[in-house]
Structure 1
Amino acid sequence: AGRRVLDPSEATRMPVDMVSGATVTMMVIADSMTQSAVKIARSRGLDAGAVSVASEPAHRTIDQTGSALESWQALLGDGSVRRLQITNRELDDLFQRTGNAAAIARPQQGNPNASFVDVYVALASVPTIGRSLLGDAEYDRLRQDLKPGQQAILVAGDGPYSFRGSGYVRGGIFDRIEVIQSESSIRFRDRNYRRVGALSAEGAPDFPEIGVFVTPDGSNLDPGASWRFQLLVQRATGALDKAFVTTGLDYATPEKFLTAPVSPPAAVAPPVAAAPAPAATQPAATGEAEPPLWQRMWQARKLDIAIMLAAIGVLTTIFFFQDFLVKWPRAFERIRLGYLAFTLVWLGWYEHAQLSVVNILTFFNSLRGDFRWEYFLRDPLVFILWSAIAAALLFWGRGAYCGWLCPFGALQEWTNRVARWLHVPQVRVPFWLHQRLWPFKYIIFLALFGLSFGSLGLAEEMAEVEPFKTAIILHFAREWWFVLFAVGCLAPGLFIERFYCRYVCPLGGALAIPARVRMFDWLKRYKECGSPCQRCANDCPVQAIHPEGTINPNECIQCLNCQVLYHDDQRCPVVIQKRIKREKFLALQSPSMVPEPKRKPRVLVTVNGREQSVERKPAASQAASTEGENQ
């Protein structure tokens, strides 16, 4: 069962979770499916009359009293664990039925009888099933996290095809799986997912992929009714094109784990609907009346969009009034650290709006094919960010993003500050070596860019050189080798500030290429900068200032540290000299510095018991000497 696309009552209903919580690819598929369903229904005259309402079945819930432990084979035998296995031959048959010539022309390689995907599914919120598969400690933690009405589904997979896919890495959405019950379609985000290392049930095999998915708030999966676990399988048909087919398994909680049925109150039969009007006079169906998918996505994220626009407005204000703000070093430092915390926590870890070099590769590859703005508009925050960055590149260069709006860059800066607070020694790279390490990020970007024209999918895999997905989107909840790589990218930054930004980041290299066309050059310099003064060059966090005093716009991250020094009369030698001269001038103008008129020496004598001040007369020898000099 699915959504009744022709039912007028569906027009005002919120989109099912398949649309509201999916990646761009899955949103397009879901939107296309809905529109196709409308067209097919109309062509076959299925839109006449009202949809009859079926009587509700008796409601059943999970029996929470059971807690026995069962073996893997016992769980398989009673249906507590269900299995979906597809061989290479069966996969080819599935694509054969779709009639997609491009997919049929690319059969699965390898042994036809070899397993392509092998997935096991179980309802882990059932006490006996959950304790048997997860163990007592893990199950108890799961139960504490479950809110009323939430269910937990365990999925374990084997075979070359992953049920998790890579969509959750890029956008935090598991776009290959969904749970369907009646008219509800449930999709899972990374916040609904927890990784499991191994199953605890006796005799359970080792699986490379095990995860527990918690149903989102408001999804209301009924454990007493059957539901379907659906898996999306994709096949590459070209550099940019893919074919899709769905398969799945039906799951029903074993009777022994459910309470006795409770009959619902009798429902009043709805009135019989009148005969439908002719097609020409009927109102437009929901499928055609609905706004485009990207508009629905923007409507659903109004608050997020407002916060994003406000953040960009604040950053623009900082740049336009930087000359005033940098005169207050402590206040400016707090503003910058607060903004970086917002970028890391809200923009990165919460909203997952971490840009990637993959976005650039996808954009340029789309220019070679059927370019449509609608595709990029379907992710509001990413689209707003890229639009702001495009404008910022013309005004200030790459620094607006790299120095302020990049969550991974913010993470590097915060970890380095903590390291400094812990007195971790800092390493300054010699400038000649630093200058020769710059090109690596450009080389990495150009390699990915060239590779994308041959195989965009392979370029996306190679783009794992960016640890953004692991550190920001997945919160380090990933396979150990990805976590190790991400930590390896962050660790040098404890000793060399923003090490990854300086030498490795392909996104930074891509943004640095057009940096020289910027319109504004608001970073002020003195003629003494670089000759002889090296204060700013030594304090620059990314060593973007050459020894001769010039700032390299390709490497500058607009942290404005040099501008703080520019106005600091306690650290900048030029301003210090100006301050000293000013203080001397003011001191000379002070009344205390004006010389008093010369007075004759006077002595204090006592006459008749009273003290009197009288002019002191010079001694006879001194008077004679003075007289001789006068002659």
Structure 2
Amino acid sequence: MFRALLIWLALSAPLLAAPLSRNELEPMIVAPYALGDPVNDHGVWSLSNSGGGEAGYVFETGLLAPLPGFSGQAINILVLIDLEGRFIETRLLDHNEPIFVSGLGEAPLRAFLEQYRGHSIAEPLVVGTPYGAGGAGSDLVFLDGVTKATASVRIAHESILAATLAVAREKMQGVKAGPAPRPDPDHAEHLDWQTALEQRLIGHLSITNAQADAAFAGTKWANDDSFDDPEAAFIDLYVVDLGPPAIAQAVLAPETLAEVQRFTSRAPDDELLLLIEAGRHGLVSDDFVRNTAPDRISAEQDGLPQALRDADILPTLAANTPPAFEDATKMILRMDRRLGFDPTRPWELTLQAVRMHGQFQPEAGAAHFSVTLQTPERFFLRPEAPAALSPFAEALRNRATDLYGLAGLLVALFGALLAQSRLAGLRAFPAVRLMILSAVVLFVGFWGQGQLSVVTILAVLRGLKGGGLEVLLYDPFGLMIWGAAILGFILWGRGFFCGWLCPFGALQEFAHHIGRFLRLPEIEPPRSYGRALLWTGPVALVALLTVAVLAPEHAEAAAEVEPFKTAITMQFDRPWPYVLWAGGWIAVSAVWFKGFCRSLCPLGAAMRLGGLLRIRRWIPRRAQCGSPCQLCRVRCRYDAIARSGEVRYSECFQCLDCVRIHDDPRQCVPLILEEKRMRNAA
């Protein structure tokens, strides 16, 4: 039986996400495009047009930008873009976000993704709605979010932008993102406003009324502005990079300089920009809200947009700045260097001039005026590119606290079970066991999401066959539990995991205690029927493997025979059939002790192999065990002791009840009889 089981396992199909193959991708490509050749080993493919020429790229966000959602897994979206960076299609491939799995359904998420079609990566895409009337004529492109799922939608949006920008920079712009330069705090250089202006450390954009009017010539907005002096300044914009301390000291008053220094100490990756507009245009609309994206200002570098946001600092200028700036519009914006912005390379800041035409429902028209900026390298330090962390190292860093807690729990548990006689002999042993099981349910299960599953076993064995187990490196918490379970196999068999470390098993045990407290009837199937139920687990396991091999598209649905995902991973936040299945087994456990573990559990069926891997018979036995004494066999709630007194380790859950009886002179029948014999002899 087990030999056949191992053959099925070795041939099982993968159940984990992998790059889509050509055969899987081709049906998803919409006409008139066709799938071209693979570009790299990260799932990026070229798109070709009807003539066979290169027309764009197709890729999965889960491979390029695996940003974890609430489920801990990335939202994987297929993105098709043309050579101009315009979205052809965005299609949901895979996700496990709870709000869309069992709450709202996938329809709102798919509807959200449809909004990208036709938009360009060069547009400043924002999830949300414009504030007030500030959106009129703004360059910001607002995408409608999904009510009650704001966070999940933003994760999907950031995944799309991060993956698309990565492809656009490298494949379409020829620019590979390197480490962002940082301002050199030790660079000392005496500067004042005039010196900085002469050295072109300050960007200047000057547009007269006549030039602005010419930008609208020939449009319906040509006569929608009035002015007296054509040569007067419509825009008189100065832009200063405040990142280098030497430049900031030259243009800011001491109190504002101190506020900027406090800001950069809190946000060291932000590059602050001072904007001074001394013309009559201004910088933002009347409906602008501080600490948000400015609606009339945009920036780009290498043809790709850069995110701007108000830093919420009201600047006061240095005494040496021109007196005309006293009444000028001033604001400080911030840009994130981690997103690829490099102030030492040319970039453009654009000011949008908006005119409104008509009295009722006026129509907005815009003209754009740009200034090119570049701060010299001498003001910055350019660090060497840090070595990329491996997925395992990144996961270790992200879950360090959880891993320390789990390591402490496992060390304590191993130590206690290695001294099992002392543990079982404690008067408070039942309370100690319940405390450990509580930690397993709450910390290992609900918090750490460390519930092992037969699906993981299938994936691991498939990885062994394919030559890689990289998937385990993304979950060091689960990997540590697997390691503990394997070590437990060697020492004690399956009992270590099934009896002590399985969150769903612990949940069933608590349900049984509640049943005893409520005085519910305790049901135990006839011994022959109970022995027959032991085969339902292997049958379920083989059936699951059969589905995985013959119909892999249904493997995930077949794996729902395990109630672990519903009860532990999703915490019962699923449609009612799943909740009924998982909750039903917990209710059954209130009257039938750990019924699922002892019957249908396919993971338990696989772990019965642990009884064959143990290195010793760790449960103490006496010659009288089984003949004539049957007390341990009768008291064993798992029916893991044969009539002969031999322990069936493939069915033993290491509850230590029989160890307590064996070591207790008030319970063990051979010890009681020996004591009577000695008293009679005396």
Which TM-score band applies after superposition, normalised by the shorter structure?
0.5 to 0.7
Amino acid in the other structure paired with 2:395 = M
Could you say what the CA RMSD is over the residues aligned between the two structures, in angstroms? 4.3
**Residue 173 to residue 300, structure 1, CA distance change in 2 (3 Å):** same
Deviation at 1:267, TM superposition (A): 4.2
1:317 — aligned with what? Answer: 415
Q: 2 CA distance for matches of 1:419 and 1:400?
A: 25
**Residue 100 to residue 459, structure 1, CA distance change in 2 (3 Å):** farther
2:451 — aligned with what? Answer: 354
Deviation at 1:172, TM superposition (A): 5.0
SS of the aligned residue for 2:449 comes to: coil
Q: 1:525 aligns with which of 603, 608, 621?
A: 621
Deviation at 1:96, TM superposition (A): 4.7
2:30 — aligned with what? Answer: 93
Matched, 1:534 2:630: yes
Report which of the two structures shows the higher radius of gyration computed on alpha carbons: 1
- Is contact 1:362-1:456 (8 Å) kept? no
Q: Which runs of 5+ in 1 are unaligned?
A: 1-23, 30-87, 105-166, 179-186, 198-206, 212-219, 234-244, 247-257, 589-631
Q: 1 CA distance for matches of 2:526 and 2:27?
A: 60
Deviation at 1:453, TM superposition (A): 3.6
User: What whole-Å deviation, never above 9, does each CA across 1:21-77 have from its counterpart, x for those lacking one?
Assistant: xxx978x99xxxxxxxxxxxxxxxxxxxxxxxxxxxxxxxxxxxxxxxxxxxxxxxx
1:484 — aligned with what? Answer: 580
Q: 2:598 aligns with which of 498, 502, 511?
A: 502
Deviation at 1:221, TM superposition (A): 8.3
Q: 1 CA distance for matches of 2:640 and 2:594?
A: 12
Matched, 1:472 2:563: no
Q: 2 CA distance for matches of 1:457 and 1:375?
A: 19
**Residue 584 to residue 357, structure 1, CA distance change in 2 (3 Å):** same
Q: 2 CA distance for matches of 1:168 and 1:565?
A: 49
Q: 1 CA distance for matches of 2:482 and 2:287?
A: 56
Amino acid in the other structure paired with 1:409 = G
Amino acid in the other structure paired with 2:567 = A
SS of the aligned residue for 1:559 comes to: coil
Q: 2 CA distance for matches of 1:313 and 1:259?
A: 62
Deviation at 1:431, TM superposition (A): 2.0
**Residue 96 to residue 319, structure 1, CA distance change in 2 (3 Å):** farther
Matched, 1:340 2:437: yes
Identical-pair percentage: 28
Q: 2:399 aligns with which of 298, 301, 306?
A: 301
2:663 — aligned with what? Answer: 567
**Residue 274 to residue 501, structure 1, CA distance change in 2 (3 Å):** same
SS of the aligned residue for 2:658 comes to: helix
Q: 2 CA distance for matches of 1:404 and 1:223?
A: 51
1:17 — aligned with what? Answer: none
Matched, 1:375 2:402: no
**Residue 498 to residue 444, structure 1, CA distance change in 2 (3 Å):** same
Q: 2 CA distance for matches of 1:177 and 1:300?
A: 24
SS of the aligned residue for 1:354 comes to: coil
- Is contact 2:641-2:647 (8 Å) kept? yes
- Is contact 1:408-1:471 (8 Å) kept? yes
Q: 2 CA distance for matches of 1:89 and 1:389?
A: 42
Amino acid in the other structure paired with 1:361 = L
- Which residues in structure 2 correspond to 1:99-110 (within 5 Å)? 99=36
Q: 1 CA distance for matches of 2:388 and 2:413?
A: 36
- Is contact 1:177-1:232 (8 Å) kept? no
- Is contact 2:441-2:507 (8 Å) kept? yes
Deviation at 1:318, TM superposition (A): 1.3
- Is contact 2:494-2:653 (8 Å) kept? yes
Q: 2 CA distance for matches of 1:177 and 1:417?
A: 45
- Which residues in structure 2 correspond to 1:148-167 (within 5 Å)? none
Q: Tell me the number of residue pairs that the alignment of Structure 1 and Structure 2 aligns.
A: 390
SS of the aligned residue for 2:75 comes to: strand
User: What whole-Å deviation, never above 9, does each CA across 1:129-170 have from its counterpart, x for those lacking one?
Assistant: xxxxxxxxxxxxxxxxxxxxxxxxxxxxxxxxxxxxxx989x
Deviation at 1:482, TM superposition (A): 0.6
- Is contact 2:69-2:155 (8 Å) kept? no
**Residue 90 to residue 358, structure 1, CA distance change in 2 (3 Å):** closer
Amino acid in the other structure paired with 1:261 = F
Amino acid in the other structure paired with 2:288 = P
**Residue 294 to residue 208, structure 1, CA distance change in 2 (3 Å):** closer
**Residue 210 to residue 498, structure 1, CA distance change in 2 (3 Å):** farther
Name the TM-score, length of structure 1 as normaliser: 0.54
SS of the aligned residue for 1:501 comes to: coil
Deviation at 1:274, TM superposition (A): 5.4
1:261 — aligned with what? Answer: 288
**Residue 231 to residue 372, structure 1, CA distance change in 2 (3 Å):** farther
Q: 2 CA distance for matches of 1:196 and 1:448?
A: 27
Deviation at 1:562, TM superposition (A): 0.6
Amino acid in the other structure paired with 2:404 = A
2:651 — aligned with what? Answer: 555
Q: 2 CA distance for matches of 1:393 and 1:194?
A: 35
Name the TM-score, length of structure 2 as normaliser: 0.50
**Residue 321 to residue 90, structure 1, CA distance change in 2 (3 Å):** closer
Q: 2 CA distance for matches of 1:368 and 1:260?
A: 61
Q: 2 CA distance for matches of 1:439 and 1:446?
A: 11
- Is contact 1:352-1:472 (8 Å) kept? yes
Deviation at 1:451, TM superposition (A): 3.5
User: What whole-Å deviation, never above 9, does each CA across 1:521-577 have from its counterpart, x for those lacking one?
Assistant: 110112222223222112212111122211111110111111011122333222333
**Residue 520 to residue 355, structure 1, CA distance change in 2 (3 Å):** same
Q: 1 CA distance for matches of 2:481 and 2:587?
A: 28
Q: 1 CA distance for matches of 2:419 and 2:35?
A: 60
User: What whole-Å deviation, never above 9, does each CA across 1:394-452 have from its counterpart, x for those lacking one?
Assistant: 11111110000100000000000110111111122222222222111112112323443
SS of the aligned residue for 1:490 comes to: helix
Q: 1 CA distance for matches of 2:602 and 2:635?
A: 25
Q: 2 CA distance for matches of 1:393 and 1:484?
A: 32
SS of the aligned residue for 2:618 comes to: coil
Q: 2 CA distance for matches of 1:326 and 1:399?
A: 15
- Is contact 1:349-1:472 (8 Å) kept? yes
Deviation at 1:461, TM superposition (A): 2.1
Structure 1 window deviating more from structure 2 (469-478 vs 428-437): it is 428-437
1:292 — aligned with what? Answer: 390
Structure 1 window deviating more from structure 2 (549-558 vs 224-233): it is 224-233
**Residue 231 to residue 461, structure 1, CA distance change in 2 (3 Å):** farther
**Residue 523 to residue 542, structure 1, CA distance change in 2 (3 Å):** same
- Is contact 1:427-1:495 (8 Å) kept? yes
Q: 1 CA distance for matches of 2:401 and 2:578?
A: 33
**Residue 457 to residue 381, structure 1, CA distance change in 2 (3 Å):** farther
Deviation at 1:516, TM superposition (A): 1.3
- Is contact 1:361-1:456 (8 Å) kept? no
